[in-house]
Amino acid sequence: MLDKAPNGKVSDLLNTLGKALAAGEVENAVDLFQTDCYWRDLVTFTWNIKTMEGKEQVRDMLKARLADTKPTNWKIADGEDASEADGITESWIQFETGVARGFGHMRLKDGRIWTLLTTMSELKGHEEPVGFDRPMGAKHGSERNRKTWKEEREAEVAELGYSRQPYCVIIGGGQGGIALGARLRQLNVPTIIIEKNERPGDSWRKRYKSLCLHDPVWYDHLPYLPFPRNWPVFSPKDKIGDWLEMYTKVMELNYWGSTECKKASYDEKSHEWTVVVQRDGREVVLKPKQLVLATGMSAKANMPKFEGMEIFKGDQHHSSQHPGPDKYKNKKAVVIGSNNSAHDICAALWEAGVDVTMVQRSTTHIVKSDSLMELGLASLYSEQAVQSGMTTAKADLIFASLPYKILHEFQIPVYNAIRERDAEFYKRLEKAGFLLDYGDDDSGLFMKYLRRGSGYYIDVGASELVANGSIKLKSGVDVKRLTEHSVILSDGTELPADLVVYATGYGSMNGWAADLISREVADKVGKVWGLGSATTKDPGPWEGEQRNMWKPTQQDALWFHGGNLHQSRHYSQFLSLQLKARMEGIPTPVYGLQKVNHLG
Ligand SMILES: Cc1cc2nc3c(=O)[nH]c(=O)nc-3n(C[C@H](O)[C@H](O)[C@H](O)COP(=O)(O)OP(=O)(O)OC[C@H]3O[C@@H](n4cnc5c(N)ncnc54)[C@H](O)[C@@H]3O)c2cc1C
């Protein structure tokens, strides 16, 4: 029988918290928190994405935001029960603010709040038209010259961006721009998505031939329209491309393919952007109030400069430009780099009969895909999780409820277990000369992704080829120079080459702001991505949240959106609500706007 006692504990605490907050008694509210507490707020109190760490920061935020936020109706979420395990009581919660409805999660330790997550579900009076409020579609009755859905849609397509300006322009129509566009459509925020590729999904289609998603299907659903139950676990790139194209159409997005944004500038007086785009060979000038860069965190190629590149007679390109192995059969290839793209490309080249060498400069974290699925993701994102009642929305919120400051503490045991389980595999890789790491603090792949977005390979087979020597390996070396027909390494080795692939990663997304807006704005906004963890490629000071992602930046009306499919799905909710609130003139005073500590 379900133990109802945890419900009593949580309800009592929520009642006390609610009363203290309603009475403006900040100290009484702060007293309900543990000394080592974390309150992560996604837009409800702070109009920001922000984690308050410790009582001092909770106090400061409440003093600044409580009177304005007017939170009420704190309770255990409808239909949910609190639970207790290992001295922690946890519960889904709901509440309201003056302008919104909120949903959240709470963990209690020794009767006090240890972690609190508060997220905005919807703005009052601006709810999405779902369930009882879904659109009628048909217009019953009779009316002269009535327009069909198709005619109305065609009129919208013809007008928006020409005789009528969108409120929001999203630059970049990959999965990020598309997911955000879908949310904004439901919130009735007129939006145009600008994409230089011809069709939605092309950013996946154009990647190397062998690519399949590295993340499993349960992690990858788009908002509103989950993949069907027969969808493959790891979607091939062209299949996900087709899904995105279908999604864009059925979600009725205003998607301008074959359109490139050339430049954008912001008028601080009129609070309006001027966005110049090239569409069908013609220049079109858009005047939105909000501009979102969804141009991809894995899209601004880091192309190294090596002496001799200009005289090399073979093919050379960044991994993002690599067409696949077909024309290199029986040739010699050198792949510079040792992360995901390098491994995928090396394996595909080897399969096509190419003599391929991987050049590894520094250590890489490798985790076998099945180990990651079983030990890292299964409790939230797997068929077992679905069967035990876990929904995508709940999985996302549980993930979001673990504060970044202590997330590595949850991850280290997972990767220790993976190291033990796959000890033989790691031993064989090291024997082949591969330089391994498990993250600066042994916290593994997910922390590396959040901190620096690079430095790992999810093994789907290439590691075996490295271990058995099929993919040749030169490790602990750098490229010294290229000759007409070879790559010379820092240890003096000469590798004959018909093809050189630079799998050297991607730069910060604020590079896009520099290209499209100005260096000044890019510097004003600063580095995008990373937590400030003071680990490799993620310099401190500690920021507590992903820099500049999905939240207000130092540039008024400029936003960054993207990340993997999970992040695009989850955070597009909060970015869309921030944009909707601004469109409706709801005051959105931002608490704790991040300072800029690094330029790019
Ligand atoms: C090899 C590889 C494997 C990956 N595997 C996974 C995975 O398994 N799961 C996962 O979730 N993620 C994966 N990723 C990360 C992946 O890049 C992102 O998840 C995804 O592409 C991000 O989507 P996005 O919309 O933010 O960016 P993108 O898909 O990069 O889209 C950005 C778009 O902006 C457009 N654009 C840029 N500049 C302009 C301009 N000036 N005008 C108009 N359009 C412009 C580009 O054409 C592009 O289509 C992988 C990345 C790589 C490189």
Per-residue pLDDT for the chain (600 aa), expressed as one digit of tens each?
456 689 999 999 999 999 999 999 999 999 999 999 999 999 999 999 999 999 999 999 999 999 999 999 999 999 999 999 999 999 999 999 999 999 999 999 999 999 999 999 999 999 999 999 999 988 888 889 989 999 999 999 999 999 999 999 999 999 999 999 999 999 999 999 999 999 999 999 988 888 899 899 999 999 999 999 999 999 999 999 999 999 999 999 999 999 999 999 999 999 999 999 999 899 999 999 999 999 988 667 899 999 999 999 999 999 999 989 999 999 999 999 999 999 999 999 999 999 999 999 999 999 999 999 999 999 999 999 999 999 999 999 999 999 999 999 999 999 999 999 999 999 999 999 999 999 999 999 999 999 999 999 999 999 999 999 999 999 999 999 999 999 999 999 999 999 999 999 988 788 889 999 999 999 999 999 999 999 999 999 999 999 999 999 999 999 999 999 999 999 999 999 999 999 999 999 999 999 999 987
What's the rounded Cα separation, in Å, for the pair 382 and 369? 13
Cβ(429)–Cβ(343) under 8 Å? Answer: no
Q: How many CB atoms lie within 10 A of CB 308?
A: 15
Instruction: Give the distance from CA 80 to its chain's centroid.
Output: 28
At 160 the pLDDT is 98
At 3 the pLDDT is 62
Cβ(434)–Cβ(360) under 8 Å? Answer: yes
Tokens of 515: 């290209």
What's the rounded Cα separation, in Å, for the pair 332 and 316? 12
Instruction: Give the distance from CA 35 to its chain's centroid.
Output: 31
Those residues whose C-beta lies under 8 Å from the C-beta of residue 380, and which sit 6 or more positions away, are: 390, 395, 398, 399
Tokens of 183: 């949310």
Tokens of 176: 């990020």
Tokens of 300: 């601004």
Cβ(253)–Cβ(178) under 8 Å? Answer: yes
Residue ranges with strand state E in 422-561: 436-437, 456-459, 472-475, 479-482, 486-489, 494-496, 499-502, 558-560
Ligand 1 centre to CA of 241 (Å) is 11
Give the mutation target among 183, 192, 198, 203 for probing the ligand 1 site: most ligand atoms within 8 A of CB: 203
What's the rounded Cα separation, in Å, for the pair 21 and 17? 6
Q: Which amino acid is at 70?
A: K
Show the CA angle centred on residue 46, arms to residues 23 and 19, nearest 5°. 20
Ligand 1 centre to CA of 514 (Å) is 18
Q: Which residues line ligand 1 (CB under 6 A)?
A: 171-177, 194-197, 203, 207, 211, 213-215, 260-261, 294-296, 298-299, 340-341, 516, 562, 564-565
Cβ(569)–Cβ(396) under 8 Å? Answer: yes
Among residues 296, 300, 373, 299, the alpha carbon closest in space to that of 563 is found at 296
**Which residue's alpha carbon is at the smallest distance from atom 38 of ligand 1?**
295
Determine the atom of ligand 1 nearest the C-alpha atom of 277.
42
Ligand 1 centre to CA of 223 (Å) is 17
Those residues whose C-beta lies under 8 Å from the C-beta of residue 5, and which sit 6 or more positions away, are: 84
Determine the atom of ligand 1 nearest the C-alpha atom of 515.
41
At 15 the pLDDT is 97
Determine the atom of ligand 1 nearest the C-alpha atom of 512.
38
Among residues 578, 577, 580, 583, the alpha carbon closest in space to that of 593 is found at 578
At 2 the pLDDT is 55
Ligand 1 centre to CA of 297 (Å) is 7
DSSP assignment, residue 530? -
Tokens 């990373």 sit on residue: 530
Those residues whose C-beta lies under 8 Å from the C-beta of residue 199, and which sit 6 or more positions away, are: 205, 241, 245, 257
Q: Is the peptide bond before 541 cis (omega within 30 degrees of 0)?
A: yes
Alpha helix ranges (H) inside 432-555: 444-452, 462-467, 510-516, 519-525
Determine the atom of ligand 1 nearest the C-alpha atom of 561.
26
Maximum C-alpha span of the chain: 83
Cβ(300)–Cβ(507) under 8 Å? Answer: yes
Give the mutation target among 238, 255, 295 for probing the ligand 1 site: most ligand atoms within 8 A of CB: 295
H/E segment holding residue 285:
strand 282-286
Residue ranges with strand state E in 4-68: 33-42, 49-53
Tokens of 116: 């609190």
Residue 52 half-sphere exposure, CB side, CA atoms within 13 Å?
A: 31
At 171 the pLDDT is 98
Per the DSSP assignment, residues forming a β-bridge with 558 are: 291
